Amino acid sequence: MGCRRGPQVIAIRQKAGGLKQMNDSRRKTAMRQTITVFKGDGIGPEITDAVIRVMDAAGAELDYEIYNVGEAEYEAHGELIPKAAFESMERNKVLLKSPITTPVGKGFRSLNVFLRKKYDLYANIRPAKSNHAVKTPFTDVDIVIFRENTEDLYVGVEEKVDENTVHATKLITRRASERIIRDAFEYARAHGRKKVTCVHKANILKISDGLFRDIFYEIREAYPEIKAEDKIVDNVCMQMVMNPQQFDVMVMPNLYGDMLSDLASGLIGGLGLLPSSNLGEEFAMFEAVHGSAPDIAGKGIANPTALLWSACMMLEHLGQMECAAKIRKSVDTVLEEGEFNTPDIGGNATTAEYVEEIIKRL
């Protein structure tokens, strides 16, 4: 575990959507904000160190409790997440997490899914916005995806009926659906957004996705100024790659949100540019949603942008708006000029060179 220090500040959590304000005592008392950091594995440690360097240089009013978690930690000490790391998260309420390797088809389940369920991080918010530095077929994508984070097929309940048959449970509840849909409308209202699209497969899953869709139209009655529409998920996939500009705020169950947020990242240049927040009524987790990229780990060429922009979402969540804005502006400038971009977005700079240039622009 490590710790870094900066000047003192009042830590404020901005109210986002229908989520409750958290940690009132900290909002009312001038005190330092300590966050928990999980370094993950693969490129995780590299991009975590890079992001902390930038936040420190920008004057973020933070202390850090830093832990190694994931596959490498399991191999070294027999635990995916050390007990002390859980205790830190439960004490600090805010987690910045870098990528963690998840075995495919065997081994432990996704730690991301585990953490979201353990701390009821029900609202996964992923904004996908075009950046002029990265050339794609579309230049004006600006979509915010609200993904319900705790149920659907991700409850992970599977049953082997016989040698050739497996049954998986899809769970949709009114409580979970209401809170994510309400948060999407509240976000749209707070940020001057004009439309919320509900994504579903209620033409086939008439009871489960039908419930989600029905609740969407119940809640929209409280937001008459915002256009509400619903679309079937397969049609949305086609529409997003033909005319993504038609979408504004989108809300959907867990599985569709996982898929469509990755699709949205492709419209703006890839997962290396997509930030993510996972919010609940008490806890918050901010993460890059791309993989741990073990093939480039240690080569010094990883792109920390997604985790850095996730850290900006965290700073805004904590009320450190000026610091977040400063970092965003610096990153945008470096990306747009292009001279110090990392290989995944068309440059040939190292992670260190990219970070140094961002810090210079602060």
**Which residues are catalytically annotated?**
154, 201, 234, 258
The single residue listed with the structure tokens 């996972």 is 278
Decide if 96 contacts 310 (C-beta within 8 A). Answer: yes
Q: How far apart are CA 243 and CA 140, in angstroms?
A: 10
Bridge partners (DSSP) of residue 165 are 162
Three-state helix/strand/coil letters over the chain: CCCCCCCCCCCCCCCCCCCCCCCHHHHHCCCCEEEEEECCCCCHHHHHHHHHHHHHHCCCCEEEEEECCCHHHHHHHCCCCCHHHHHHHHHHCEEEECCCCCCCCCCCCCHHHHHHHHCCCCEEEEEEECCCCCCCCCCCCEEEEEEECCCEHHHCCEEEEECCEEEECCECCHHHHHHHHHHHHHHHHHCCCCEEEEEECCCCCCCHHHHHHHHHHHHHCCCCCCEEEEEEHHHHHHHHHHCHHHCCEEEECHHHHHHHHHHHHHHHCCHHHCCCEEECCCCEEEECCCCCCCCCCCCCCCCCHHHHHHHHHHHHHCCCHHHHHHHHHHHHHHHHHCCCCCHHHCCCCCHHHHHHHHHHHC
